[in-house]
Amino acid sequence: MSTNQLSGAEAMVRMLEAHGVRHVFGLCGDTSLPFYDAFQRIGGSMRHILSRDERSAAYMADAYARVTGRVGVCEGPSGGGATYILPGVVEANESSIPVLAITTDVATTSRGRFALTELDQEALFRPLAKFTRVIDRAGKLPRYVRAAFTQMTTGRPGAAHLSFPFDVQKEPVDETEIWADGALGAYPARRLGPDPAAIAEAAALLKSARRPVFICGGGVVIAGAETELQAVAEAIGAAVATTVSGQGAIAETHPLAVGVVGSNGGTVETREAIETADLVMFVGCRAGSVTTERWRHPTPGKAKIVHIDVDPATIGVNYRTDAAIAGDARLVLAALAAALAGHRTGNDPRAVLAALKARKRASFEELARSTETPIRPERLIAALQSVLPEDAIVVADPGTPCPYFSAYYETRQTGRHFITNRAHGALGYAMSASVGAQVGRPDRKVVAVMGDGSFGFTAGEMETVVRLKLPITFVVVSNAVFGWIKAGQKSGFGARYFSVDFDRTDHARVAEAFGLKAWKVEDPTELAATLKRAVETDGPTLVDVISQPLQDARAPVSEWVA
């Protein structure tokens, strides 16, 4: 290489650095050797985090992006590496989280010749990512990397994929092409403001509403619009509910906060808050099946609908809108706050909301105090609430933990304090994602909560946690069943149970073999004290909680209650 040229692998490292990338999560492979060599030689301040599975690397990048506001980067080799990384890419993309997946590939000269691990990566990733390209010539690399970062962080954020063939990693790239807009390494970038006419229309509807309710999705937290949301809600006296992904849009201790609504984590009380509304404003929320209990709550046609989303194509898909505002949630809410300045509302839902929340809390605390064995999930939630600091980050798998945390664990600060994979709900997320969360926010206590089914998916990442000396606390809800499915078989198929039960694992002993300090808890009266020891221990820990099976529990999942 001449002095003004880099190899493709070196150019990739330099382009990532130019976009402000600080961490890369991934797993080595034959087709990645030039890239790894370049990273080792010129990686600079960037740190590579070796995972034990490409899926885990993608989940790590996802949670890292959620807690840092920066693009998460993961990488893996060709063939199986590319297929393993897919679940994390599609989860991030559908959750509007910017994750860049770089998968290396066989040489372009080997295509069509039955090369080991050859597959059409662009066709594979096209329906799963916002942007995908095969870098078939090194000269295109800087342009494709810039395009990927632009796509990931502007408009509706999402995931991108770049395929990086082995021979292209060795081809020359002109060093003058190595440049980037560093602002695109964080999200949301290049925010789009709303149409003033749409703001005026929505403001008029808000002023005339008597029982307004906001339903806030993940878009509020992604946009960092919590302050603006609170200002608008207080200006018109609106109750504020959230989706599971929208937790953190408002502190759940705020007198206007309703809590999570929908079929996963919603309760009779939160549904009542939605059904009494004369205006519902969706903010950064797609009004999907879980949030609306399959488009039944709010009842279509019963209330006026205002819909705010950064993606215009989302608005009006599921509910007929009376006012539609396309734009970044923070800019839209700021414009609404300005339009409502000086408005004096007569609405004050605080007493009604306090009564609703008191009823919900009383029902929860009755079970949370139970000394029954196996331990009730409600008791676990109450114990964790009592021992975790307010700024802790909880990462939960979508099975047993998700509805209980969504319904009953109070997020007392705004921002990203609760993470779960709600787009596609794959098991095995929490253990891996907690690594990304802890790497991204080393100043926070990170707790990962998972069922024992999920534990079996990614247990190998405990080696990663011990190697990196990450002080994560893992909590296993141990009930020896794929509980969500068994509960569905009970409620919808006459309790005809089939192929959902498995043998109990001693998760504490498994964790100890990896080098974690671990406990098993069967007595509910010992739970809080054990969790406290685990949380306060310097280093990675695990608590194996022998828990009530989900099909026997009173989970806040509307289809089972019905």
Domain boundaries, the chain: 5-185, 196-352, 369-561
DSSP 30: G
How does DSSP assign 226-270, residue by residue?
Answer: HHHHHHHHHHHT-EEEE-STTTTSS-TTSTTEEEE-STBT--HHH
Q: How much is the pLDDT for 269? A: 95
Three-state secondary-structure class, residue 310: coil
3-state secondary structure 382-408: HHHHHHCCCCCEEEECCCCHHHHHHHH
Q: What are the structure tokens assigned to 33, written together? A: 């050797």
User: If we measure between CA atoms, which residue out of 356, 321, 345, 338 comes closest to residue 209?
Assistant: 345
Q: How far apart are CA 468 and CA 496, in angstroms?
A: 45
Beta bridge partners of 174: 5
Q: How far apart are CA 267 and CA 133, in angstroms?
A: 44
Domains 196-352 and 369-561 share a fold: yes
Cβ 434 vs Cβ 464: under 8 Å: no
**CB-based contacts of 527, cutoff 8 Å, min separation 6:** 375, 379, 380, 383, 521, 545
Opening angle at CA 87, ends 457 and 250, nearest 5: 95
**CB-based contacts of 276, cutoff 8 Å, min separation 6:** 211
In which region does residue 254 sit, left (phi positive, over 0), alpha (psi from -120 to 50) or beta (all else)?
beta
| CA 408 from centre of chain | 18
CATH top-level class for 369-561? Answer: alpha beta
CATH top-level class for 5-185? Answer: alpha beta
Q: Tens of pLDDT along the chain (562 residues)?
A: 556 899 999 999 999 999 999 999 999 999 999 999 999 999 999 999 999 999 999 999 999 999 999 999 999 999 999 999 999 999 999 999 999 999 999 999 999 999 999 999 999 999 999 999 999 999 999 999 999 999 999 999 999 999 999 999 999 999 999 999 999 999 999 999 999 999 999 999 999 999 999 999 999 999 999 999 999 999 999 999 999 999 999 999 999 999 999 999 999 999 999 999 999 999 999 999 999 999 999 999 999 999 999 999 999 999 999 999 999 999 999 999 999 999 999 999 999 999 999 999 999 999 999 999 999 999 999 999 999 999 999 999 998 899 999 999 999 999 999 999 989 989 999 999 999 999 999 999 999 999 999 999 999 999 999 999 999 999 999 999 999 999 999 999 999 999 999 999 999 999 999 999 999 999 999 999 999 999 999 999 999 999 999 899 999 998 887 5
User: If we measure between CA atoms, which residue out of 118, 99, 98 comes closest to residue 108?
Assistant: 118
DSSP 481: B
Q: How much is the pLDDT for 561? A: 74
pTM recorded for the entire structure? 0.97
**Architecture of the domain defined by 196-352:** 3-Layer(aba) Sandwich (3.40)
